[in-house]
Structure 1
Amino acid sequence: MEQRRINLADIVSGQALPWDITDLAGHLLLRQGQIVHSGLQIERLIERGLFISGTAGPSKKENPPVVKPEQASALRIINQAIKRLERLLFNIGNETEVQSKIIEVAKAIRYAVSINSDVAVATILLNQDVGEYAVRHCIDTAILVAHVGNQNGKSEAELVSVTAAALTMNLGMLREHGHLQTNGNQLTDGERKVIYRHPAESVRLLREAGVKDEDWLNCILQHHENEDGSGYSSGKRGGEMMSNAKLLMLTDRYCARVVARTYRKKMLPNAALRDILLNEKNKIDALLAASFLRELGIYPCGTFVKLENGEVGVVTSQGVSSTTPIVHALLGPHGAPLAFPIKRDTARALTKIREVLHADAASVRFNMHQLWGSDANL
């Protein structure tokens, strides 16, 4: 179904809706012909980032101009999900129907991944200025949970549940998370207790807010456990852990490593993968690690690289193997910006990857739309 995002010109107070209105995940919320009675209602609908169904026809009372439906954008849906989740989590004590609202965001993330998984994965590296770190990290983790989970034969209900767990895993230390992110000092005893207790505290807050999905809640309780029993809070071993908790643990750790902090640079994506998959191999499920690496590749989408011919570009999709992705070059061999991105296959000798770069070392300015088109519209 084709969609475009609603704006203030689409809804008139007191008049019948000329279109169906859907949520982020494409579910029908308001039917054509229903009446919105106040400006406040209109503002709330716009703020939620809802969509006009491209298949809806004009009402009999209205003859609106013909508008070409706008293609759904994975990037835009992710940014809307960040804003929506931020409001929900920071105001959880005053929210109603929390479980259904979180599930709506989880389905929106899965929808964004279904539109273009390359764009969705690239936002983890290229979209870090949007929203509060604590919330954006949960969105990043949810994206990878949805992307990797799609390939593991799980049911839709199970995938929505683990994606919702990713979105809410750090609720119990939400307000402390920003401080911990920027704190370059040694952790205090109080901070260690907050970190150690946050899985259980997250579950407590979610139960109080009306969440009853036990798989969702147990996944959060176990997302810092390890295969060898060295994790927390219960010291469970691999056979005692939910498979979804293992997936959440792995994606959470990767996303945390590739984000910059005031006291350290973010790790390069390939180095983060090596650190987890090799240095922590006793802590993670080997089969899951293989699946994770297969779906993400050694050079995940959004990674900055320098090629053998001297060009600098960004990984935009996976190639014929996990070590030979497709790259779009943005700078020429002598550092001059190219007139337009040039697609390069890194399986070729001349354009194979020479090194991975930090964003500041790449010294390249671009927007995601230039590389992925309408799937990355803002």
Structure 2
Amino acid sequence: MSEFVRIAPGALTIGRPLPWDVHDTDGKVLLCQGYVIQTESQLEQLFERGYFKPRVIEVLPEDDDAASNEADGNPFARYPDYLHALEKALASIAAGNPEARKQLQDLAQALEQACALAPDSSLALVHLYSVGPTIHEQIIFYAILCQLIAHQFGLNEQRTKILTEAALSANLALVPVADKLNAFNKVLSDEQRSVIRKHPQRSIRALRAVGVENKLLLTIIAQHHEQADGSGYPAGLSGADIRPEAEILALAERYVAMITKRAYRNRMNVTAARKLIANLADGGLRPAIPKALLRVLGEYPPGTLVRLENNEVGVITGRPVRASGPFVHVVFDSAGERYEVPQQRDTNVPDFNILALEEPDMMPSMNFSQIWGFSGSPKIP
């Protein structure tokens, strides 16, 4: 059991999918990723009995034939690895470890591979875990969205790579306080506002202390809270003085904030979030950037729950391809009974047209790897 770590209180939440498989003391899987904890007693039992297995991120060799197989880039299976690698990299930066940049680059490359090999599954991660994500989860979401937006926007490979590293490190200075701020339901104090406004400069100082001097990376971080009209911070830049990479990161953060529940407000559904993004496309500095995000998302992004015309409920697994509508794997039949094996539906077929978004108070348990067609997945209890 030396490779397993006990689950710490506070690591899991009622109503959210498990981010990793939970094991017992013998290493046997008790609950698989995607299972949703329903009660306080279940939560207490997991804290008493549960272990998980942190792993080191391994980047697939570019010349490996397996790298062309989407199943080998399963972002659901690698999600706990991403989180573990991010925590380790940010802790290394904060500690002044000169190996930190390499850790950051390895994680950025792993996320790049996931988005290239399995873009729908990577986008689904953002939506499946968006109910109440930790700061580390949010940062992973920013990096995924930056990858997908940058590709759609037409950013070249090298600039996209640097943008992803910036997305992973821009909020380094906020990590110690972000979860508390998100859970805070009162007006922020002057001290709290100061921490927020100064985090770009503080993150840059920490990166420079470990030898990071890439001008583009540091500029993206410095500018990702600037606004086209000059009302942003820290420098009050406006217009074309703001790099497009910084705008992409700002938009990724903004979208995640829209669809994420906070103590002081409910989360926004995808339809409402898309309307706000469309408004940005009408009046922003570079309309092509929010338009790129709208194309990435589609009307119903992967990972969102929908009800079909025949009253089945399922999860969007793929964006439209040619004459097909978005693909759905239905989890519940028209009577509300769970399918033993989720059934795929093409929403262009009349009986399977999408009727409405589903926004349950508690996410249903799902085996993400199985639904998205990745092999070797344990069954949801």
1:170 corresponds to: 171
Describe the SS at the equivalent of 1:148: helix
Deviations 1:19-43 (A, max 9, x none): xxxxxxxxxxxxxxxxxxxxxxxxx
How far apart are the structure 2 equivalents of 1:230 and 1:116? 37
How far apart are the structure 2 equivalents of 1:233 and 1:323? 46
How far apart are the structure 2 equivalents of 1:202 and 1:231? 17
How far apart are the structure 2 equivalents of 1:260 and 1:52? 34
Alignment of 1:265-304 (within 5 A): 265-278=266-279, 281-283=282-284, 285-304=286-305
Alignment of 1:218-367 (within 5 A): 218-278=219-279, 281-283=282-284, 285-320=286-321, 324-360=325-361, 364-367=364-367
How far apart are the structure 2 equivalents of 1:212 and 1:189? 31
How far apart are the structure 1 equivalents of 2:324 and 2:295? 10
Describe the SS at the equivalent of 2:211: coil
How far apart are the structure 1 equivalents of 2:253 and 2:323? 21
2:120 corresponds to: 118
Using the TM superposition, give the Cα deviation of residue 187 of structure 1 relative to its aligned residue in structure 2, in angstroms: 0.7
Alignment of 1:93-108 (within 5 A): 93-94=94-95, 95-108=97-110
- Structural RMSD (CA): 3.0
How far apart are the structure 1 equivalents of 2:336 and 2:236? 51
Using the TM superposition, give the Cα deviation of residue 97 of structure 1 relative to its aligned residue in structure 2, in angstroms: 2.4
Q: 1:259 to 1:111 in 2, by over 3 A?
A: same
1:212 corresponds to: 213
Using the TM superposition, give the Cα deviation of residue 102 of structure 1 relative to its aligned residue in structure 2, in angstroms: 0.7
Unaligned runs of 5+ in 1: 1-6, 9-45, 57-69
Unaligned runs of 5+ in 2: 4-53, 65-70
Paired amino acid for 1:367 = N
TM-score by length of structure 1 reads 0.77
Paired amino acid for 1:374 = F
Using the TM superposition, give the Cα deviation of residue 321 of structure 1 relative to its aligned residue in structure 2, in angstroms: 7.9
How far apart are the structure 2 equivalents of 1:304 and 1:221? 36
- Contact conserved, 1:308 with 1:354, CA < 8 A, in 2? yes
- Contact conserved, 2:85 with 2:103, CA < 8 A, in 1? no
**Structure 1 segments (4+ residues) deviating >6 Å:** none
* Higher RCO (C-alpha 8 Å, min separation 6): 2
Deviations 1:117-166 (A, max 9, x none): 11111111223599x71111111010011122123333322111000000
- Of 187-196 and 338-347, more deviation after overlay is shown by 338-347
Using the TM superposition, give the Cα deviation of residue 314 of structure 1 relative to its aligned residue in structure 2, in angstroms: 0.5
- Of 280-289 and 345-354, more deviation after overlay is shown by 280-289
1:48 corresponds to: 56
How far apart are the structure 2 equivalents of 1:314 and 1:99? 37
Describe the SS at the equivalent of 2:352: coil
Paired amino acid for 2:85 = R
Q: 1:256 to 1:284 in 2, by over 3 A?
A: farther
How far apart are the structure 2 equivalents of 1:241 and 1:179? 30
Larger radius of gyration: 1
Paired amino acid for 2:186 = N
Paired amino acid for 2:147 = A
Using the TM superposition, give the Cα deviation of residue 347 of structure 1 relative to its aligned residue in structure 2, in angstroms: 2.6
Equivalenced residue count is 320
Describe the SS at the equivalent of 2:356: strand
How far apart are the structure 2 equivalents of 1:322 and 1:257? 31
